[in-house]
Amino acid sequence: MFRATWMIAAAFLLLTALTSAQTSSTTASSMASAATSAPAFDVNAAVETYLAKMSPAQRARSTAYFEGGYWLTLWDFLASAVVMWLLLQFGWSARMRNLSERITRFRPLQTALYWVQFILVTSILTFPLTIYEGYFREHKYGLLNQTFGAWMKDQVVGLAVTVVLGAILVVPLFGLVRKLGRSWWVAGAVLMIAFLAFVSLIAPVYIFPLFNTYTKLDDATVRDPILSLARANGIPAKDVYEFDASRQSDRVSANVSGFAQTLRISLNDNLLKRCTLPEIETTMGHEMGHYVLNHAYKGVVMMGVVMVIGFAFVNWGISFALARWGQRWGVQGIGDVAVLPLAVIVFSGYFFLMTPVNNTITRTMEYEADMYGLNSARQPDGEANVDL
């Protein structure tokens, strides 16, 4: 809601600038006369005019949804911490490690087998909160279109993706811990950053299509203006893709993601069904802004700094906890894969405390993309309406 308010205000400011530019040929005397007689532009009143399109009940519902989401951030952290503590306190993590060691002597495979057990157990233990957040709460606010069966199918696919990608990360990460000892956290942070960049690169082509069907957009009245906007902003895209997000929710969204051969401009069918062409153009202008302004790379760099500090904190936190409770938990050291629940507790705690920093990074990039979208698409009214 706050973002929508600021964006509507920005839209009106840009609209004012455009109107002024169109009348630049007016004589100096008439401009001076207009300047003295025209009423002052009231941004707040203009914003309220747009917001008046929403009923008081709709505005209250929107506020409740987002404010509830802030509380869920806290509950997610606490629930995760409790589950990880249970795995340590009752020796479940050590038993999962022992089972992996009985199955194979190959250390990388032991780590992978532990990871599979870890994901399955933690997913089951956190499932009540997951189903409330992802299914019941979304249905309550009218944001989810799926039946429980369809929703569960997506959850299973997501779980499988997590198992595979997580194994790709965890196996070499524990290899580094065992090989480098105390200095593992530096190389570990670099590995994590590289992994995040890798996932963002392959996601448009290999991950997103697992959840939605992507097809080339054939409607030239929408496709051609988007491609024209892309060319004007130096984006080498040849096609625009549409994906069937409506089978999951009524949310509108779009993205410009990937790099080189994986570059893809995509928008969901809700955007096509619910929005006008000016609203679609301003949405795509925003997404192109993220791409042109290199937010993906800047995000990796900024998150990289956060990540390095985080890994140093995790190294300290794990060492501190193992010195006191490691024997009780059956965890033999920082290179023992059974330490993973403890690492999750410490890392989650760090990122919870870093929420203001992460949110500031996100808000800054979103603001920059908003301004870029307004300037490139030149659709301030469309921006205001699509935000609503």
Report the distance separating Cα 240 and Cα 222, nearest Å: 9
Residue 307: pLDDT over 80: yes
Average pLDDT over residues 46-72: 89
Look up residue 90 and give its two tokens. 């009752």
Sorting pLDDT into bands at 50, 70 and 90, what band is 42?
Answer: confident
Q: Provide the pLDDT for residue 173.
A: 97
Per-residue pLDDT tens over the stretch 23-41: 333 333 443 444 445 567 7
The average pLDDT across 80-105 equals 97
Give the pLDDT band (50/70/90) at residue 14.
very low
Residue 242's DSSP bridge partners are: 215, 267
Tally of CA atoms within 13 A in the half-sphere of 204 that contains its CB: 21
Burial class (CB in 10 A: 0-12, 13-18, 19+), 182: exposed
Q: Transcribe 215-264 into DSSP letters.
A: EE---HHHHHHHHHHHHHTT-----EEEE-GGGTBS---EEEE--GGG-E
Q: What is the pLDDT of residue 309?
A: 96
Tokens 């997000």: give the residue.
245
Confidence band for 202, pLDDT divided at 50, 70 and 90: confident
Condensed to tens digits (0 to 9), the pLDDT of residues 231-264 reads 999 999 889 999 999 999 999 999 998 777 778 8
Across the chain, what does the average pLDDT equal? Answer: 88
In percent, how much of the chain has pLDDT > 70?
90
Q: What is the pLDDT of residue 341?
A: 98
> Is pLDDT at 274 greater than 80 in this prediction?
yes
Per-residue burial over 9-33, b = 16 or more CB atoms within 10 Å of its CB, e = otherwise: bbbbebbeeeeeeeeeeeeeeeeee
pTM, two decimal places: 0.83
* Contact by Cβ (8 Å): 202, 262: yes
Edge-to-edge strands, sheet with 240-243: 214-216, 240-243, 264-268, 254-257
Coil/strand/helix, residue 114? helix
Would you kindly state where each structural domain of the chain is located, as residue ranges?
1-11+53-388
pLDDT score of 83 more than 70: yes
Which residues lie below 8 Å from residue 23, measured CB to CB, with a gap of 6+? Answer: 31
